[in-house]
Structure 1
Amino acid sequence: MSKTTRATLALARASVPHGLRAYAYDPDAPRIGLQAAEALGVAPERVLKTLMAQVDGKPVCVLVPSDREVSLKKLAAACAGKTAAMMRPAEAERLTGYHVGGISPLGQKRPVPTLVEEQALRHERVFVNGGQRGLQIEIAPGDLVAVLGARSAALVAAAEEPATKR
């Protein structure tokens, strides 16, 4: 497996300290982020899944802990929008230039606004997809937010709230 991707190149160009961790990707896993956390032996709240969504028809990238679900209502509110919906996988692949299961928030073909769940900022290090299936980037959440020009917000669904399950 090559560990050079558009995501890792973006971090190298920005001189952002990070680590790379490869793992055995399971294409049949029902929840990719949870499978990555288990394979890496780290707490699932430290592995951030990359979700592509639309708010009022405009694309956004959303990073939430792999053991949580995004609240579309909270996402719309965080973007000062009215409605939010998850992007279809084919559209997410076309927009980012990555394959589902390997979509990274870094080095996307067309950068879009990015939101990071605020709970992720409490960790010393988090993991995000490295731009290919089976590759995770370990990074300080503050560095991740800075290099992405992202904003943090409360995005996860409460237990009683409808949510996504990607």
Structure 2
Amino acid sequence: MTKSAGATAGAAGGAGRDRFLADAAARGLSVHLVERLAANSLEEAAQILGIQPGDIVKSLVVKHKDGSFLFALIPGDRQISWPKLRALVGVNKLSLPTAEVALDATGYERGTITPLGSTVAWPVYADRTITGRRISMGAGAHGYSAFVDADALTAALGAVVADISEPN
């Protein structure tokens, strides 16, 4: 099953997928939604999708000490560089919240998180290594992935693109 940004998602996909598609459409962003088998790891998800783990971009929710949040878009084969992200944001403390806090902050469960359709439009920071290619990312519901042009995504989100990651 595939859907484009303007398509109706249907009840089976849930509200998260609907929010994802509606936000992508509102931003004029072309996304290709793919239904996929459940995966137990990023590597397994990449294999199911026929891509490399680095082509899957993780949307990580990061918490400021003041209680606000941001999204960090990181390739699957890399991890956040906390010193680089803290320096860019201009703070001395950032952390990954619990799954429950991330759900409250975005309206998405872990494994489905995306800045598109988040219940709050938190700032987005994208690692520079995602640019210049087509990527896969969460689509707001388990069992779905979205393919999108990374440059169009970062532009549509007004993301800060910088060096914020390091190899796993």
Name the TM tier (shorter chain). 0.7 to 0.9
1:21 aligns with 2:34: yes
The yes-or-no answer on 1:108 pairing with 2:118 is yes
Preserved CA contact (<8 Å) 1:52 1:92: yes
CA apart distance, 1:137: 1.2
Give a deviation string over 1:58-106, Cα, whole Å, max 9, x none.
Answer: 3111110111111111111121211221111110000101111111121
1:41 aligns with 2:41: no
Instruction: Give the C-alpha shift of residue 142 in structure 1.
Output: 1.3
Q: Distance in 2 between matches of 1:91 and 1:106?
A: 18
Q: Tell me, in whole angstroms, the C-alpha distance in 1 between the residues paired with 2:115 and 2:55.
A: 15
Q: Give 2:64's aligned residue.
A: 55
Is contact 2:20-2:117 (8 Å) kept? yes
State the shift of 1:158 in Å.
Answer: 4.8
Tell whether the 8 Å contact from 1:55 to 1:79 is kept in structure 2 after alignment: no
Q: Under a length normalisation based on structure 1, what TM-score does the superposition of the two structures give?
A: 0.85
Distance 2:101 2:65 in 1: 16
Give the CA deviation at 1:38. 1.7
TM-score (norm 2): 0.84
1:148 counterpart residue number: 157
Matched letter for residue 159 of structure 2: A
Q: Which runs of 5+ in 2 are unaligned?
A: 1-11
Contact 2:78-2:167 within 8 A present in 1 as well: no
Aligned residues of 1:55 and 1:82 also touching (Cα < 8 A): no
Residue in structure 1 matched with residue 22 of structure 2 by the alignment: 9
Structure 1 stretch 70-79 or stretch 51-60: which is displaced more?
51-60
Residue aligning to 2:136:
127
**1:90 and 2:103 matched:** no
Between the aligned partners of 1:79 and 1:35, the Cα distance in structure 2 is 33
Say which SS state the counterpart of residue 136 (structure 1) adopts. Answer: strand
Query: Residue 99 of structure 1 aligns with which residue?
Result: 109
Distance (Å, rounded) in 1 between the aligned partners of 2:76 and 2:167: 15
Distance 2:44 2:89 in 1: 29
CA RMSD of aligned residues (A): 1.7
Aligned letter for 1:119? T
CA distance in 2 between counterparts of 1:154 and 1:8 reads 28
Question: Structure 1: 5+ residue runs without aligned partners?
Answer: 160-166
- Tell me the percent identity: 24
